[in-house]
Amino acid sequence: MTLGAMALVACSPEGAPTFTTGNNRLDASTALPADAVPTFEASTRDAIPVPDRGTVVISEDASCSTTTADARRLPVNLLIVLDRSGSMSERGKWAAAQSGLRTLLGRLDGSIRVGLTMFPAPAGAGAADRVTTYNTPLVPIAALSTNRARLDSVLSGASPSGNTPMNCATEGSRNYFGEFPMDGSRNVILITDGAPTAECTTAPMCALIPPDFACLLAQGNVASNEVRVSVARGARGTPPIRYFVAGTPDASDTFLSDLAFTGNTPRTPDCQRTTSCHYRLETGTFEADLTRALDEIRGAP
């Protein structure tokens, strides 16, 4: 937790910020309507904040007076929710995910709190495919200065296998944050290459041999909708959880983009909800795309 000095500046209208409402720009001499919002040069709304590196200096204008006050930046709590289903073994995706996450963990400041859960849960982690299995992450959230080695060990020891019980992981993670005792922002990074399967949902179970395609389609729709509901509940909770989403073309762009939008982390302010709000990981460049996405998420230049 970092303390810093912040200058509070009272200026004349000439030095005041501008505001926007609809298509109109307003200055400080205009009575502001209820929908007016400040205009910023660049948005950091979706970046995971990193600890302060020094004192921020605000130049004093001749038309302004200044006063100083202590400002406190809340800690960052980050839970990595990683798909380790059998399809992640294809085309090098699992090795790329491991490498990309190690790179992220190596770059993050030791004061940032990080945890890890995987779905399906590895053998020995408890009864798989139930929400209660995921109520406590494989590596609970703690400062990287204390659990970096543990995170690396769990990542190295896991291998892809099984279905994609995504809703078990999202519901369990939401429950975990619901009982979370520490202060600070609450963030989830969901990394997946597929659509959720029926576990921990009300979706019907379907015959696979021979495949019942109508049932499988209904199963996928129900499971996906219940993951959306889980993310929406977390994003609208108090305090809220932000869900960053990264996925491959194997997964539905529409589904993953909608999850990111629902989770209050659209990649850009003007992204299209159904196609471009998540971080897309191409098969041939999975590791590079994931590393780039994680850098953007952590707010790196």
pLDDT, tens only, 56-73 = 343 444 444 444 444 456
Hey, what amino acid is at 228?
R
Among 18-32, 122-136, 226-240, the range scoring the smallest mean pLDDT is 18-32
Most confident of 118-122, 225-229, 272-276: 225-229
Check residues 93 and 1 and name the one with the higher pLDDT. Answer: 93
3-state helix/strand/coil string of 65-90:
EEEEEEEEECCEEEEEEEECCHHHHH
Residue 143 tokens read as 């400062």
State the pLDDT confidence band at 76, using cuts at 50, 70 and 90: confident
Mean pLDDT of 247-275: 84
Q: Which residues pair with 5 in a beta bridge?
A: 70
pTM: 0.74
Which own/partner pairs from 34-43 qualify as long-range (CB within 8 Å, at least 24 positions apart)? 43/269
The DSSP bridge pattern shows strands 113-119 and 241-247 to be unpaired
Torsion, CA 146, CA 152, CA 158, CA 160, rounded to 10 = 120
Report the pLDDT value the prediction gives residue 145, as an integer from 0 to 100. 94
pLDDT at 198 over 80: yes
Q: Where in the chain is the domain with CATH 3.40.50.410?
A: 76-297
Helix H or strand E segment including 95: helix 93-107
C-alpha span between 151 and 102 (Å, rounded): 9
Residues of the chain above pLDDT 70, percent: 72
C-alpha span between 275 and 267 (Å, rounded): 11
In sequence order, which residues have a C-beta less than 8 Å from that of residue 34 and are 6 or more positions away? Answer: none
pLDDT at 8 over 80: no
84-133 tens-digit pLDDT = 999 999 988 898 889 889 888 888 889 889 999 999 988 655 556 899 99
Residue 74 CB neighbour total at 10 angstroms = 13
**Which CATH fold topology does 76-297 show?**
Rossmann fold (3.40.50)
